[in-house]
Structure 1
């Protein structure tokens, strides 16, 4: 799916293009046919303009998504907004709106963030193995 302009996309996905896990996940999302255009922005690229008042380190530390109105969502809330736009994932977004579910997803995401550096190293090793074979 081609990248669209952040000014024309209903949702702008801000992701860490240096993270092998993030690249794989974004490739999966890009392979789907969303209800509306999505703009994928690699925040690890230093040429990328950042949302006002945000640092690159802050944006790389968690998953973010910008709504058409400019609101920046982070963590589980960002994933839920993205899932709502994707076919085959909308059911998960609907479930997240049940009482307590988004809160639980956020707690799970925070746990994942603690494990993320180890998982990134593992994924990078897999990528290197594939490239060498």
Structure 2
């Protein structure tokens, strides 16, 4: 196990994005959510991001750090998150590999192109 590993998966999300914030709030109300660390990267200190993750990268795409220290991003992070939540685990298993994961990644990339329209022009806070 990686020396930076924790006992819980950690999800890194952009708390300045209204769409992202609503979606994360919905996931946080789900059974199993207490087993995940939820980190709003707009307000956390840089050390909280851990190895291999910059604030800029974390603000650009969803990231999930697994308990073994592996870092997933984009569609793979969504599938990993869903597998952690009992009501969503079936979806994580369904789309978490192969062509379905590639389709989910394509849809996510499309969302990322539209996201600045919702996020607004608020700059991220300075790194601490």
- Aligned counterpart, 2:8: 10
Could you tell me which runs of 5 or more consecutive residues in structure 2 were left unpaired when the two chains were aligned.
Answer: 121-128
- Aligned counterpart, 1:90: 89
- Farther off after superposition, 75-84 or 15-24: 15-24
- Aligned counterpart, 1:128: none
- Aligned counterpart, 1:57: 56
Tell me how many residue pairs correspond in the alignment: 116
Name which one, 1 or 2, has greater alpha-carbon Rg: 1
Higher relative contact order structure (alpha carbons within 8 Å, sequence separation ≥ 6):
2
Whole-angstrom CA distance in 1 between matches of 2:19 and 2:55: 18
- Equivalent residue of 2:79, what SS? helix
- Would the alpha carbon gap of residues 9 and 33 (structure 1) be closer, same or farther in structure 2, given more than 3 Å must change? farther
- Alpha-carbon distance, 1:7 to partner: 6.4
Return structure 1 stretches of 4+ with deviation > 6 angstroms.
none
Could you tell me which runs of 5 or more consecutive residues in structure 1 were left unpaired when the two chains were aligned.
Answer: 1-5, 122-133
Whole-angstrom CA distance in 2 between matches of 1:66 and 1:18: 20
- Aligned counterpart, 2:68: 69
Give the RMSD, CA atoms, in angstroms: 2.1
Q: TM-score, normalised by structure 2?
A: 0.80
- Alpha-carbon distance, 1:99 to partner: 3.6
Residue pair 1:11, 1:66 contacting (<8 A) in 2 also: yes
- Would the alpha carbon gap of residues 97 and 19 (structure 1) be closer, same or farther in structure 2, given more than 3 Å must change? closer
- Equivalent residue of 2:67, what SS? coil
Q: TM-score, normalised by structure 1?
A: 0.77
